[in-house]
A and B are shown apart, each in its own frame.
Chain A
Amino acid sequence: MLEALLPEALLPEVIRQNLPFLLAGLAMTVRLAAIGIVGGTLLGLLVGVIRYARVPVLSPLAALYVEIVRGTPLLVVLFICYFAIPALLGYRTSAVNAAALGFVLFIAAYLAEDVRSGLRSVPPGLARAGLATGLSTVQVFRLIVLPQALRRIIPPVFSQYVRLFKFTSVASVIGVRELTGSALLVNAREFQPVVILATVALTYLVLCSTLSLVGRLLYARLSVRT
């Protein structure tokens, strides 16, 4: 399906010959990014709301999680998810699953901070007005505070998404055959690093620019006008 979109004749020889393999890698990159974005957003939302609402017991734990993950490089997070946690708990995992878990845990910590600061930026008067009209606390949060907070944090959230998309390349270090991993394997056989790496860099460039453009368009449509 992806083949049809590319003007194959324009591609360099080495890329054309390894196209199915590289596209499979690209598909894995997209899959990992999608899992990270969806899972990370859900977890980040949960952690951010827990910290915002100062839920007893859970809130300090959430703060600890956010601080630890934000102070640890992604590479180390992936190593911990692939080697350390399975060794500790005595289960076996695949590199893909470990990477997916690592991406969700990693990006959720950053998204949680964005969610929390977004929630805190909603003027308290709006919540009070909502309560005054007879809505319950939960309704006020769900119908008034949360939607406005989410609209405000579109730019930082999308820059985290773009960051995650780029960071999926780190999964190649633990042996996942995503775009970077596949390209390195192709390069090991063909040894044309200039062409191969330039193609891969350009692919990431196009995809990341598209993702951040989507963020900008979404923000232009949904931003809170004050």
Chain B
Amino acid sequence: MHYQFDWSQVWQHRDLIFDGLLVTVALSVASLVPTLIIGMLIGTLGASGSRAARTAAGLYVEGMRNVPLLIHMYVWYMALAFLRLPPFACAVLGLTLYSSAYVAELVRSGIGAVPRGQARAAAASGLRPWQALLLVVYPQALRIIAPSLASLASQLIKDSSLASVIAVAELSYQAGAIEGQTFRTFEVYITIAVLYLALVLLVSFAIDRIPGLRDAPSVGRIADA
């Protein structure tokens, strides 16, 4: 190995790296919120009794998640360039459409995993259908899919790196810029890899600590009996 390590160059550009980190966090949060909302709506449609709704939800899910995220980004940025959306908005759109398909599948399977007796019992106790969904089915489904949702959130953070190809100045983009100036290839990329790793670990650590999500739901057993 003849490689001379020089971490001072990375340290000198710490402000750029920090800016990139902030944009990555902002991009992830801005995409995660609509992703969860759309995913929940589509997933609920996918679990509904109406065949047309299920087909529509299925088409959305298959259409969105079988196209690479990179293509999603380019479509919004290049093919729909006449909309003149800023790159950040294109990245949010791409990430949201792509990830919401995965969330929809999770929500659908989560609702399916809640015993049917729960919704019927809620209806029998006088709750309206939307109340039964909101107060009885969703909370239980959420607990079931919480671990998968957590890994989806870290997936989204990592996927946000692809926004660099449409010139969103997030972490990977800044890494490329710093590398181009300093040629400290190894140091720069290892640094941002560690930062991504830290973000992902932080998210999974935080989600683990949300009260009520960690304990497995025991309600199902009682309802089955």
Interface residues of A (CB under 8 A from B): 67-68, 70-77, 79-80, 83-85, 87-90, 162, 166-170, 172-173, 180, 184, 187, 193-194, 197-198, 200-201, 204-205, 208-209, 212
Give how many B residues have a beta carbon under 8 Å from the other chain's beta carbons. 38
Contact status A193-B1, CB under 8 Å: no
Contacts A198-B79, A201-B75, A205-B66 hold; do A75 and B179 have CB atoms under 8 A apart? Answer: no
Complex: A167 Cα to B162 Cα, angstroms? 10
For residue A80, which residues in chain B have a CB less than 8 angstroms away from its CB? Answer: 189-190, 193
For residue A74, which residues in chain B have a CB less than 8 angstroms away from its CB? Answer: 158, 161
Binding site secondary structure of chain A: helix
For residue A76, which residues in chain B have a CB less than 8 angstroms away from its CB? Answer: 161, 172, 175, 189, 192-193, 196
Contact status A209-B186, CB under 8 Å: no
**Which residue of A has the minimal Cβ distance to B78?**
A193
Binding site secondary structure of chain B: helix
Contact status B197-A72, CB under 8 Å: yes
Q: What total of A-B pairs shows CB separation below 8 Å?
A: 114
For residue A162, which residues in chain B have a CB less than 8 angstroms away from its CB? Answer: 66
25 intermolecular pairs with C-beta atoms under 8 Å apart: A72-B193, A72-B196, A73-B158, A73-B161, A73-B162, A75-B164, A75-B172, A76-B192, A84-B185, A87-B3, A87-B185, A88-B1, A88-B3, A166-B69, A169-B71, A173-B164, A180-B68, A180-B71, A193-B78, A193-B79, A197-B75, A197-B79, A198-B79, A209-B62, A212-B66
Complex: A200 Cα to B158 Cα, angstroms? 23
Kindly name the residue among A75, A169, A209 whose own CB sees the greatest number of chain B CB atoms within 10 A: A75
For residue A77, which residues in chain B have a CB less than 8 angstroms away from its CB? Answer: 193
For residue A75, which residues in chain B have a CB less than 8 angstroms away from its CB? Answer: 161-162, 164, 172
Instruction: Specify which of A72, A88, A166, A200 is in contact with B66 (CB 8 Å cutoff).
Output: A166
Complex: A50 Cα to B92 Cα, angstroms? 39
